[in-house]
Structure 1
Amino acid sequence: MKKIVIAGGGIAGLATARILQNQGYDIKLIEKQPEWQISGTGLYLPSNGVVALDKIGLATTAREKGFIIDYRNIKNAKGEAILDLDLEKIWGREKPCLGIKRNVLHDILIDGLNTIDISFNTTIKSLKANPNSVAIELSNGSKEECDLVIGADGLYSKTRNLILGDIPLRKVTAQVCRFIIKKPRDINSWTLFISTVGQFLIIPIDKDSAYCYVNRKTKGFKTFDKKQYMEPFKKFASPVPEILNDWNPNDAYWNDLEELPKLPIMGSGRVVLIGDAAHGMPPFMAQGGALALEDAVVLSGLLKNEDWSTMAYTFSKNRSNRIDWTRARNQKREKLSKLPYWIAKLGLKKVGEKNWTEDYRPLAETPNW
């Protein structure tokens, strides 16, 4: 029985483990945290991610536990419509997109991992790739010889560092804020408020909860006192002020947005990088989770028929067009997000639907999985 070591227990690692377990491999999953520690925020999963979940056999459960998103509504600070998008039309399928709590999706992926050997508080200390195997030493002192290593250990991947060296990330935006709230009664779609001060996004993630993503505009990488961060947004239309009445900065998740440069090959030989370890990018296209799920589906399919000694190259060749498209469109969205508000507003009104449809058209085409 072929042995596979998966580094990282996030969306990419767990989805891959879930599929490969069912294919009969000997799977060892290692996770650097001492226990499951999932960010207490939400996730917006565009339709290509939901299709990947369907392929894994988990989309029905995710839809039941999450919130189906079929519209995107963009408004100004007064709550007046700038752009309304019918996502069923853009994606060409019913019940296209999904909002869900990260820990709920995590639990859905874990449920059923019956034969996986999971080691917490563990990372790969060193690895050596041989023609027919990979010899690894783990941080707990144990040594393993396996047929394949899958690096699913995120944007700051230790596995990537071991095989490709230190690759500096590009800082994109400083200090974005994410948090979960009680779902406002009238918010039943992906709803974004924009103005000169920034963006306030609300996404339902189940019938009772919503996920907020807030990005305050600034010059350069200036940061604000967390208690003062939301002050300009208190003048926005309802339900934003009501949300902020109960908001506590200590209950929010704060981080900078960074991007991993394109890797010529996502791994090396029998060591394959997936998810953010391979193509981490900021969430302008909201494709982090979706691409991670796609990676799991594609890689598991390739393992059935392809030579494992060149799996990193084979995987990269199969994924590069889709990922490169997403990266290019993501960078375009990044530039648009930094335009003066009046230009962005005008552009959204005139060509917003056209651009949005073009951005996602290749991703809306379901690959031959």
Structure 2
Amino acid sequence: MLSLLRPLLAACLYLLLPGGQCRMPAYNNGFHYQDISNGNGNGEIYFNGVRLHVESPQHAVSAARGSSVILPCHYHYEPELTAPRRTRVKWSWLPANSISAPVSPAASARETEVMVAMGNRHRSYGSFQGRVRLRRSAPGDMSLVINELQLNDTGRYRCEVIDGLEDESVTVELELRGVVFPYQSQKGRYHFNFFEAQQACQDQDSTLATSEQLFTAWEEGLDWCNAGWLADGTVQYPITVPRDGCGGLELASGLRSYGQRHRLLHHYDAFCFSPAVKGTVYFSKHPTRLNFTDAIQACATSGGQIAKVGQLYAAWRLMGLDRCDAGWLADGSVRYPITKSRAYCGPPEPGVRSFGFPPPFLKFGVYCYR
């Protein structure tokens, strides 16, 4: 609003000739405005010695799913005011899937309101209702507390403080700690369009990974030669050891990108992101091996349910699950997690080993989630 007022003030100063009149609309927010165009003619205005500052000591915060997190935001006046003022605070959110996705200006992603507060009154919106509050640990503290973090809470949060014509804001990125893993269809390699890849990840208690999450996974050693969809509609794959068939020996290690692909017509694998699990993933102890149907029943008998792929990856990476026994998972695949390499447990590198999707009548162990 201040930017809209400046041209009007400049016009008034220019037109204020002898006998002329220029009336400003009556508005008073408690600040005194003063013309500082003396000598430079630019007609700028400023609050008489008072400025609103909105800051955050952290511009990125990470947390585990199911936990609580604080997104820091503080405001103050310079110089300090002698009496408190009625300020309005608005927290809004841009989901992680929308941050890096290229869109046209007409269809640009819009921030969603999380909470609005003025004085002791506040209101939260959507899926954040009942889960958010302002910390208010000290004067000017408008930090947002989010309880029971959900899988889709990641993204960019904006803390906006409004005082009359003054409007300042700061952003904080929220990330969930988790693991990125490649995922293929039961039909084999490259069978997902973008929307099918989204659904496949959701079915495994995960979401499509962002480019940033895949880059972090590559930095941590993820090497995979099959291209997969990401949340922004691009198709990429991470290579730590350059080789023929994976971009060639002449290319340095890094993320190989096909760029944006048609979300309906083109088909690839998926890179999924799974945050920490709230429960426990365990190998069900059973006297005999089980076919797929019996494996589902065994988990139910033990008070749980058959684990999903994302849950197994999260338990392996974030909780150190290590088991050299192949077991059924909910999608019909057979896998096992290794954190400490040893004989007869596959390659020397840690990871989740996969037997693919064997016929359901074959017998293995089972991984359950409770």
The one of the two structures with greater contact order (alpha-carbon pairs below 8 A, sep at least 6) is 1
Q: Report the structure, 1 or 2, having the larger strand content.
A: 2
- Bigger proportion of residues as helix: 1
- Structure-2-length-normalised TM-score: 0.24
TM-score (norm 1): 0.25
Larger Rg: 2
